[in-house]
Amino acid sequence: MAARITTPTALLIAALASFGVVLGCAIGCGELLRLAERSHGSTAFDSSVTSWVIAHRAHGLTTLARVLSTLGSQVVLAPVMAVTAVALLVRRRFVLAGLVVAAWGGAIALYNITKHVVDRPRPPAAIWLTKVAKTSSFPSGHATQSLACFLALALVGAVWVSTARWQLRLVALAVAAGVGWSRVYLGVHWATDVLAGWLIAAAWLTVLARLVRAATSADARAAHGRALGAA
């Protein structure tokens, strides 16, 4: 299917349609989660994970959690993704620039809309170790945007360092996993918020990767056609 999506208009339509599907699934999962929630917004699984994490807090882990949480915030991701997109545009790598922008912007839109619809309570403020906005807990924005952005950067990096493709992906996954853990450790998200954020990001990046592959194949075929015509 992806191979038949070749024009910019078709790619845009496919991206928007896929965005709608991922968004619908995210909201649906959030609504289904309500069936297992207690009055304060957690499930039995969430409560057990949070209780265990709080019981094992330590000064060094708290410092690490705050660093990882910052890495997954817009304070870091916004300039990194913006600079990367601009650099790719300057080098005329328009497809990869589109991937970066779509991964970043799409992740933000997905979790913000889902938060607005689902409106799940955060854990009690008494256990927070950092300040957060008074927004819905589901899904974790940090988990969603960090995995989406770090994987997108790994895919871009693999274009220039193809021999390190899997190493880059593993680093992206490890850092994103750390960001997700930090949000539970700091007490501002339930574990299922983080898991949902990862699933949303993974689904969105899978869609974008397929569209990028289709666009790249179309560009290669067009270039081959021009070369044959010139010959």
Which pLDDT value is given to residue 217? 65
Closest CA to 119 of 216, 174, 41: 41
Query: What is the tens place of the pLDDT at every residue in 98-146?
Result: 999 999 999 999 999 999 999 899 999 999 999 998 889 999 999 999 9
- Structural domain harbouring 172: 2-220
pLDDT tens, residue by residue, 167-177 = 999 999 999 99
Residue 229 within any structural domain of the chain: no
For residues 181 and 65, the answer to whether their CB atoms sit within 8 Å is: yes
Q: How many domains does the chain have?
A: 1
Average pLDDT of every residue of the chain: 90
Do residues 159 and 10 make contact, with C-beta atoms less than 8 angstroms apart?
no
Assigned domain for 231 exists: no
Any domain includes 157: yes
Rounded average pLDDT over 177-183: 98
According to DSSP, residue 126 is labeled G
* Separation in Å, CA 5 to CA 12, 36, 99, 140: 10, 40, 15, 32
Measure Cα distances from 128 to 62, 145, 190 in Å. 11, 21, 12
Query: What is the C-alpha separation between 111 and 27, in angstroms, rounded?
Result: 9
- Please give the pLDDT value at position 36: 84
Structure tokens at 161: 């360092």
Confirm whether 227 is domain-assigned: no
Band of the pLDDT at 215, cuts 50, 70, 90?
confident
Q: Does 226 map to a domain?
A: no
Q: Is the pLDDT of residue 46 over 50?
A: yes
Does some domain include residue 94? yes
3-state secondary structure of 2: helix
pTM above 0.85, yes or no: yes
Distance (Å, whole) CA 165 – CA 192: 29
What was the pLDDT predicted at 2? Answer: 46
Q: Label residue 6 by pLDDT band (50, 70, 90).
A: low
What is the structure's pLDDT at 124?
93
> Using CA atoms, how far apart are residues 209 and 150, in angstroms rounded to an integer?
13
Rounded CA separation 107/144 (Å): 6
Residue 31 domain flag: yes
- For 170, residues 6+ apart whose C-beta sits below 8 A from its C-beta are none
Amino acid letter at 100? V
Give the model's pLDDT for residue 140.
97
Domain assignment present for 85:
yes
